[in-house]
Chain A
Amino acid sequence: MSRLRAGLLPRVAAFHLRLGGCGGCGDMVDMLLRGAGAGRLGVAECGTPRHAGLLVVTGAWNRGQARAAAEVVGQAPGSVRVLVVGDCALGGGPLLEASREPESVCEHVSADLEVAGCPIEAEEFMEAIRRAAR
């Protein structure tokens, strides 16, 4: 019965936007969005930002990717919720000095939820996803 209930629960379509960084947060986000726990979290990864109810952003907003990143954000529906994940995305992190003009994602996108850390805690991210999916 619990299987059936979990299968019928609504899921929020999530799109992962990966920007500059070591990729650790991005890999963890991918694992959690695509892995065994995603169904119970109430999210399902979608293949295009145009269908996203939740936009998960990892990595620093840097000059090389700024135009592409802005286009992805622009393609998301107006009601999309934005979850910014990791220290790099929040304007910090160990790669701050090595990157080309890194900026915080929050300077360009209005964040609804933030998960700090390098690397992030999986439990913290899952809790943020649950809150975003509500």
Chain B
Amino acid sequence: MSGGSMVFVGKIAYLVLFPGTLFVLVCGVAVRVVMSGTGAALLGPERTGAGAAGERSWTAASGAVPDTGSLQAVVWLTPLIKVFSLAWVSCIVLGFLSGDLVLLFALMLVAAGSDVFAALLSSNPRAKQEGWRSAVSFSAWAAPFAVALCAVALRTGEVTVSGVIGWQAARGVMPLASAGGGFARAGIACALVAAFVSMIAFAGLRPLGRGCFSDAPGGILADVSGPPLAFFAAGRIAALFIAPLLIVALFLAGPAGRAYEIVFWVLKVAGVVLLLSVADALSARAGARAVAVWGVGFAGGLAVAGLVLTWIGVAS
């Protein structure tokens, strides 16, 4: 094989195995177990929703996808696109593939948007109705997260993910790094909170997200069972891991080469997972209007304030 072919095969291996699809799904299942355990510890066994292994009947079941519902190609392809996009995000964050913040955001848009489009393409009115709610949830994370990414790029002067991680490796965790002074630190702290809130919606967690594990399923999930449903569940599980991974990589100093730094990175990811779990366990699912107010309004406003403060800090 030529050198070019080897590089191509290597990149495919990254996307499929490590740190791509397989790695993301294994870590996502671990995050799911932590979240389920946190919910059980806080609320007892009587909390709403299935247990960590509650999806077993989905994957074991033979499919019953109705002819009158979503197009067959849509229900098979959209979850695969989502998982593939999130695997690519994981590869970029962990430094196995190169990519800038715009590509990262675009992949996240594709991943989250695939669910919305699948629901809206369905001829099932119940699926379509939930599709619009998912669209509100989509805007609740996309708008504030885009502004938070701008604040990160402004603070670091870097547009690549590896550049942002390298900046933090040299100067420390972003909210505490001295570069840019107090205004920049306050701005990044605001952006961090906005990003955390937006990741709740991105991962489909309560109160801002539309989930398939913790309440009565709606949207495209009402249309499918069997293998397509398992693929959708895989997409949600992948998002559960990508959300804390992004927060740590962009704001809390992502993974670096030394062994002790990897241990710290794992601990930071675990901490963010725990915070997301507590938010999910103690909240009720918000309605579309509340999601818009708290996502686009509160988190978006906080992200804009963070961007302005960061700009003032960096400029002065």
Chain A residues packing against B (C-beta within 8 Å): 3-4, 6-13, 36, 38-40, 44, 46-48, 50-54, 74-80
Contact = CB atoms under 8 A, between A and B. Distances in A.
Contact of B224 (A10, A46, A50): A50
16 contacts: A4-B41, A7-B41, A7-B47, A8-B36, A9-B53, A11-B51, A13-B54, A13-B58, A44-B50, A46-B217, A47-B216, A47-B222, A50-B222, A51-B221, A75-B225, A77-B226
Summarize B's interface: helix, strand, loop or mixed.
Answer: loop
B37 interface: yes
Contacts of A11: 50-51, 54
B74 to A, nearest CB: 15
A47 B217 CA distance: 6
Contacts of A80: 61
B229 A79 contact: no
Nearest to B65: A50
A77 B225 contact: yes
A7 B225 contact: no
A79 B56 contact: no
Interface string B40-58: 1100111101111110111
A51 B217 contact: yes
Contact of A48 (B47, B53, B54, B222): B222
Contacts of A46: 216-217
A79 B41 contact: no
A48 B47 CA distance: 20
A77 B63 contact: yes
